[in-house]
Amino acid sequence: MNCIVCLKQVPDTETQIKIAQDGMSVVTDNIKWVMNPYDEYAVEEALRLREKFGGEVTVVGVGPKRVTESIRTALAMGADKGILVDDPSAAGSDSLGIARILAAVIKDLDYQLILCGKQGVDDDYGVVGSVLAELLGIPQISVVVKLEVSEDGATIKAHREVEGGTLVIESPLPALVTAQKGLNEPRYASLPGIMKAKKKPLDVKTVADLGLDAAQVGEGGAKIKVLKLSPPAEREAGKMVDGETPEEKAANLAKLLREEAKVI
């Protein structure tokens, strides 16, 4: 089974994000960039399917040269090859633009299943997978926590958590699935895997190589415009509840919640 994983590089969640002077972007100096955490689940699931059914795992990313580090991480985990679309004209692409680029890469590849993370932890839009499936004309199932593939490799059953239960959806292949936390436990890249990753193929393409009009991607082709970024309001200092006994403290807490917080 040939699987394609769409990968995004994002700032490490422990990185302190600062808003740039233009008020519409973030300062990228000294940011530690990592593979999007939800994409790690997608890579791991693709590797498990290859181990069971055979085939290849191809990782596709869009962005500047630094994205090769995250693609190499996926290769070190066990993926077979990578493709990076590195083109200045793609900078500033919104979800539609990224999906157009990914579709242009994937449409000529041999695949049965495409896996993406359910969302990027930087912008949290969570729509690239759905748009990509629409552009490719294949079914898509989002926010999947368990995936079953039939023995003949023709269909999948995807489990989604819904309020009060689990929704099980069956789909023919090829299809696209977006991974949610809980789908699996991603493996760590081993030292032999890291060494092998350096020799695995990683193709670099431009927007022109894909036959795309540069006007369809980047800031010029974006349908979503960032007007302003602002930090969240600073959290107010906490308040200590006075009282000589636990009972008195509980009563004072209830009074504060009712009269000041107005939550009860």
Determine the pLDDT at residue 53: 95
Reply yes or no on whether the pLDDT at 204 is more than 90.
yes
Tokens coding 22: 């233009």
Sheet holding 113-117, edge to edge: 165-172, 155-162, 140-149, 175-179, 113-117, 3-7, 57-62, 81-85, 202-205
Give the start-to-end residue ranges of the domains of the chain: 3-221, 237-264
The two beta strands, 81-85 and 113-117, are unpaired
Residue tagged 């190499």 (tokens): 72
Question: How confident is residue 240, by pLDDT bands cut at 50, 70 and 90?
Answer: confident
Reply yes or no on whether the pLDDT at 26 is more than 90.
no
Cα 7 to chain center, whole Å?
7
Q: Do 75 and 202 meet the contact criterion of CB atoms below 8 Å apart? A: yes
| Most confident listed range (26-30, 210-214, 236-240) | 210-214
Hey, which bits of the chain come out as E strands?
3-7, 9-11, 33-35, 57-62, 81-85, 113-117, 140-149, 155-162, 165-172, 175-179, 202-205
Cα 195 to chain center, whole Å?
25
State the average pLDDT over residues 13-41.
90
Determine the pLDDT at residue 260: 85
Tokens coding 48: 């498990």
Determine the pLDDT at residue 28: 85
Task: Report d(CA 73, CA 82) in Å as an integer.
Answer: 10
Reply yes or no on whether the pLDDT at 226 is more than 90.
no
Asked if residue 88 has a cis previous peptide bond (ω within 30° of 0), the answer is no
Contacts of 235 (CB under 8 A, 6+ apart): none
Task: Report d(CA 264, CA 255) in Å as an integer.
Answer: 9
State the average pLDDT over residues 88-102.
95
Q: pLDDT digits over 141-162, tens only? A: 999 999 999 999 999 999 999 8
Question: How confident is residue 118, by pLDDT bands cut at 50, 70 and 90?
Answer: very high
Determine the pLDDT at residue 263: 85
- Superfamily name and number for 3-221: HUPs (3.40.50.620)
Reply yes or no on whether the pLDDT at 116 is more than 90.
yes
Task: Report d(CA 252, CA 257) in Å as an integer.
Answer: 9
State the average pLDDT over residues 41-64.
97
State the average pLDDT over residues 186-214.
94
The two beta strands, 81-85 and 155-162, are unpaired
